[in-house]
Chain A
Amino acid sequence: MANKSIKKVVCFGATSKIAYETLKKFANDHVEFYLVGRNEEKLSEIKNDLEVRSGKVVKIGICDFSDLNKVQALVGKVKSEFSNFDTCLVCHGFLGEQEKAESDVRYANEIMNINFNSYFILLTEIANYFEEKQSGNICVISSVAGDRGRKSNYVYGTAKGAVSIFCQGLRNRLFDKGVNVLTIKPGFVSTPMTAHLKQGALFVSAETVAKGIYNAILSGKDEVYLPSFWRLIMMLIKGIPEFIFKKLSI
């Protein structure tokens, strides 16, 4: 497929390492940005950096994605301040602690709000916007953790699984409306989110994943595992019968 022409990108969760690395790639193409994140200081550092790289003015908006009431209003704000954007990246996330989520329902709910409910609201609004324009690119960061529930992180996994299924539905709904929906499923990535984990051989850098995301957006892919060997790993993991899988700790 011919490469898409991308001019205006909105990014939710722009301070995430994967998001920032991806935006740097777009900045080389002199794209305009609207960045949304929770931490104003970090966000303005990234704004300055991307302005130097792209030579264009970068807009920012502050939002806490666990506060769902604000998320909907946010999309309205982006639409009015950044008209005619053509690409939307949704990258924010919160890994959370599985053990705490098992005993603290409010905490588990926060994980669900940040990792799924806010996606659900944002993506519905953005999808309708692009549908009306009959064009647009949606790129969503899901995770291999959403491919199968495991005891070690099934709350986060549930949210990511829901994101993946939701995106499948959107893709199906929008494919003949000129809107591309891309689901990214990264494996283990060395980022601040995973800094506390022991980093084995399967870990890759955020730059590597960002390159994959950038290429997938430009070539209009549907669902991409990054690095691509995760597709094979997850195929094997999904293929294990449940009566065996329940006994495993992977």
Chain B
Amino acid sequence: MKSWGNFPSLKNQKLVSTKSCNFSDKAKHLAIGLSRSYGDVCLNEDGVLLSNSENSKFISFDAQTGILKAESGVTISEIIKVFLPKGWFPPVVPGTKFVTLGGAIANDIHGKNHHISGTFGNHVKSFALKKSTGEEVICSEKNNKEMFSATISGLGLTGVIVWAEIQLKKVKSSHIDMKSIKFKNLDEFFSLSEAHDKNFEYTVAWLDCVSSGKNFGRGIYMAGNHSENKTNLKASFIEKIPNVLRTVPFFFPSFILNKYTIRIFNALYYNKQFSREINVPIGIDPFFFPLDAVFNWNKIYGKNGFFQFQCVVPESKSKECMKELLKIAVDSGQASFLAVIKKFGNKKSPGLLSFPRRGTTICMDFPNAGKDSVSLMKKLEEVTMNADGALYPAKDALMSELSFKKCFPNWSKFKKYIDPVFSSSFWRRVSGE
């Protein structure tokens, strides 16, 4: 068992279905979903991983209120498949639809609408949490409020989420009206964000993280709203390709992703739109989940895997810090083609260890090239810490105990709600236990 980043490689993990688990194993347990987090929050060396994949049925849906009750293994993909045709959409979706409801809660995921809607946890009404004692606790804002807050962003440590009730959002169509604007540098990004974020439910920007000089900080700002018109879009070019041909069949040799191929990709991507601004209708998949179009895309980074760095930095230090982080990435020559930047809003999540907070978030991929990559990641971490920012546990494989405790001052409060037989490799690494 590995996480999406294929790093770290850990031993002796036993995968057990939550349905059949009676916690008789003396090793530590961890509740997991589809293991789409990048580092070690979903890993548990010498321990038991409790999979919710057999626990994936819908339980009820109220078409008046839009409240969906489902078992925790139901995926965002399945929710969209079933509910989009009925005119409903998940309140928050991450960059991949292959995550479970339980995983979305445990990592308190965010999406392109954070500036309006907050995190996934903001839309959770209640859930049932199975403890190792066998007891099932129903948690909500009213009942067991503390356990509710600890489990949202609780990284699978407080018990197993059996089912959850979430609020779906009403939509009028199955596509997005997108505005896409090229920007030449980060200052331009910030002014675009300032000007447009309030008018669009979803916003994100792609960043070129290899170009320096006059192209430093260029990118494409993308914003969208659910369309009011019910036109049927044709399937995009890539959606017409059979799944088999869209699957990365094996780990690519590491030389395939090098600074030349990445440079070419970035240049092509930046120039994919000729005019500075375009306004087009676009499907749900290409808008929200472009990477899902290539299955197992993580394998292009080779067997050693890759690191994903994501941090958020407070508004006051955003501009300066983002430039510094991007400069470190560009200068390292190690960056890859996946980099995004977005401004978070100030809606507070109920989650104790929730990552999103007001400020600017940036997210970059780096192939794991050993020591050089680790020291690069450490450098980015340091800059983030100096700017009073925070790192995202779901993406992290390296942050120090000190950084974790600084990013998440609620950690000691959270600790009390960890189920006594639960732990994870991530938790042992950052808690110092």
A184 to chain B, nearest CB (A): 22
B411 CB-CB contact with A under 8 Å: no
Q: What would 18 more interface pairs be, CB under 8 Å, given A49-B59, A52-B58? A: A28-B81, A28-B85, A45-B57, A48-B57, A48-B58, A48-B59, A48-B60, A49-B57, A49-B58, A51-B60, A52-B60, A52-B61, A52-B68, A52-B70, A52-B82, A53-B58, A55-B63, A55-B86
Q: How far is the CA of A139 from the CA of B82 in the complex (A)?
A: 25
Write 8 A-B pairs (CB below 8 A) sorted by A numbering.
A28-B82, A28-B85, A46-B57, A49-B57, A49-B58, A52-B59, A52-B68, A52-B82
Question: Closest 3 CB pairs between A and B?
Answer: A52-B58, A49-B57, A52-B61
Q: How far is the CA of A46 from the CA of B57 in the complex (A)?
A: 7
Q: How far is the CA of A28 from the CA of B68 in the complex (A)?
A: 17
B163 to chain A, nearest CB (A): 11
Chain A interface residue count: which class? under 10
Residues of A near B61 (CB, < 8 A) are 52
* Residues of A in contact with B (beta carbons under 8 Å apart): 28, 45-46, 48-49, 51-53, 55
A-B contact count (CB 8 A): 24
Pick from A28, A45, A48, A52 the residue with the most CB of B within 10 Å. Answer: A52
A240 to chain B, nearest CB (A): 31
Residue of B nearest to A192 (CB): B54
Residues of A near B82 (CB, < 8 A) are 28, 52-53
Q: How far is the CA of A49 from the CA of B68 in the complex (A)?
A: 11
Q: How far is the CA of A28 from the CA of B81 in the complex (A)?
A: 9
Pick from B58, B59, B60 the residue with the most CB of A within 10 Å. Answer: B58
Residue of B nearest to A47 (CB): B57
Q: How far is the CA of A52 from the CA of B62 in the complex (A)?
A: 9
Residues of A near B85 (CB, < 8 A) are 28
Residue of B nearest to A42 (CB): B57
Residue of A nearest to B59 (CB): A48
Within B124-157, the residues touching A (CB, 8 Å) are none
Q: How far is the CA of A51 from the CA of B70 in the complex (A)?
A: 12
Q: How far is the CA of A49 from the CA of B60 in the complex (A)?
A: 7
A11 to chain B, nearest CB (A): 16
Residue of A nearest to B74 (CB): A49
Residues of B near A49 (CB, < 8 A) are 57-59
Residue of A nearest to B82 (CB): A53
A40 to chain B, nearest CB (A): 15
B33-75 CB mask vs A (1 if < 8 Å, else 0) is: 0000000000000000000000001111101000010100000
Q: How far is the CA of A28 from the CA of B82 in the complex (A)?
A: 7
Q: How far is the CA of A52 from the CA of B63 in the complex (A)?
A: 10
Residues of B near A45 (CB, < 8 A) are 57
Residues of A near B81 (CB, < 8 A) are 28
Q: How far is the CA of A56 from the CA of B152 in the complex (A)?
A: 33
B202 to chain A, nearest CB (A): 26
Q: How far is the CA of A46 from the CA of B58 in the complex (A)?
A: 8
Residue of A nearest to B86 (CB): A55
B89 to chain A, nearest CB (A): 15
Residues of A near B59 (CB, < 8 A) are 48-49, 52
B4-46 CB mask vs A (1 if < 8 Å, else 0) is: 0000000000000000000000000000000000000000000
B347 to chain A, nearest CB (A): 28
Q: How far is the CA of A183 from the CA of B389 in the complex (A)?
A: 62
B388 to chain A, nearest CB (A): 44
Residues of A near B60 (CB, < 8 A) are 48, 51-52
Within B142-184, the residues touching A (CB, 8 Å) are none
Residue of A nearest to B68 (CB): A52
